[in-house]
Amino acid sequence: MALMRASRRLGLLLLAVVFLAVVSSVAGAEDTVAFTIKDARVTESSGLAADPGGNIYWTVNDSGDRGVAYGIGLDGKVQGTLNFHARPQDVEAVAVHGDRLYLADIGDNTGQRSFVRVYFFDHPRANGLTVSYHAYDFRYPDGAHNAESLLVQDSGRLFIVTKGRKAAIYQAPAKPDRRGVNKLQKVGSAPSNVTDGTFLPGGARIALLTYSSVQVMGAITSEVVASASIPDQP
């Protein structure tokens, strides 16, 4: 399962390109490869987010890596790393909002975690230095869930999309507390096997990536308004 997920994700590093295409016409989205990550340090790319300010993409490895994020240049080469003193369990999503980088340690394949954690870094730099971090802890209202998607609203509010057969969208408090465990609120349903997602410009819709499709949904209604199949990736 991990190898299958890895191969799909490495091939789906066109995510940002696909999402931009979705905005104009989901049906016309092309499977154009923006770049390929070949650096041996990135063994299983698990999330990808563009950092417009740094002119790079951020990615992380799946479970088993130390506290590190990799800055990927527009040519697919690792430009540098951001290191932090933590031992994440299963980082599955990356998001950038303004000058803040989020790394979502929300994977839970065995469904045993009592809470999940989202690390964040202000003004991140891929310069190889080890920096301090802040984090929010979250608990689902209905038991443990495996998740691979973190969405950030224009306001900065966080949402987690679970991955299971009865997948759902969970909303974090508007102002999470860094000193305790914050309770998530279920606000909508989601397709199964969601591996990444983002709010589209304007905030009224979200785009979700699954193993086989990109789906655009109303952010409030959870109604699918457009979808497009994607080809199997090498």
60-104 per-position pLDDT tens digit: 998 778 999 999 998 899 999 999 999 999 999 999 999 999 999
Cα distance between residue 186 and residue 141, in whole Å: 8
**Mean pLDDT calculated for residue range 158-187:** 96
Q: Is 12's pLDDT higher than 50?
A: no
- Residue 52 has a pLDDT of 85
CB 83 within 8 A of CB 127: no
Instruction: Tell me the average pLDDT across 176-193.
Output: 96
Q: What is the pLDDT of residue 56?
A: 93
Grade residue 233 by pLDDT with cuts at 50, 70 and 90: low
- Domains of the chain in start order, with CATH, are 2-229 (2.120.10)
Report the half-sphere exposure of 25 (CA within 13 A, side-chain side): 4
List, as own/partner pairs, every contact residues 156-161 make where C-beta atoms lie below 8 angstroms and the sequence separation is at least 24, other chains included.
156/97, 156/98, 156/100, 158/102, 158/118, 159/187, 160/104, 160/106, 160/116, 160/184, 161/190, 161/194, 161/197, 161/208
Angstrom distances, CA of residue 109 to CA of 90, 164, 165, 181: 9, 10, 13, 21
Q: Encode pLDDT of 92-142 as tens digits.
A: 999 999 999 999 999 999 999 999 999 999 999 999 999 999 999 999 999
Cβ-based neighbours of 1, under 8 Å, separated by 6 or more: none
27 or 174: which carries more pLDDT confidence? Answer: 174
Q: Are strands 130-131 and 78-84 parallel, antiparallel or unpaired?
A: parallel
CB atoms within 10 A of CB 30: 10
Beta bridge pairs of residue 60: none
Give pLDDT, residue 39.
92
Distance, CA of 60 to CA of 54 (rounded, Å): 17
Q: Comparing 4-13, 185-194, 206-215, which segment has the lowest mean pLDDT?
A: 4-13
Q: Do residues 121 and 142 make contact, with C-beta atoms less than 8 angstroms apart?
A: no
pLDDT on residue 145: 97
Give me the pLDDT at residue 21, please.
Answer: 45
Residue 26 confidence (pLDDT): 43
> For residues 193 and 183, what is the distance between their CA atoms, to the nearest angstrom?
23
Contact 191, 206 (CB under 8 A): no
**Residue pLDDT, tens place only, 15-56:** 444 444 444 444 444 567 888 998 999 998 999 999 988 789
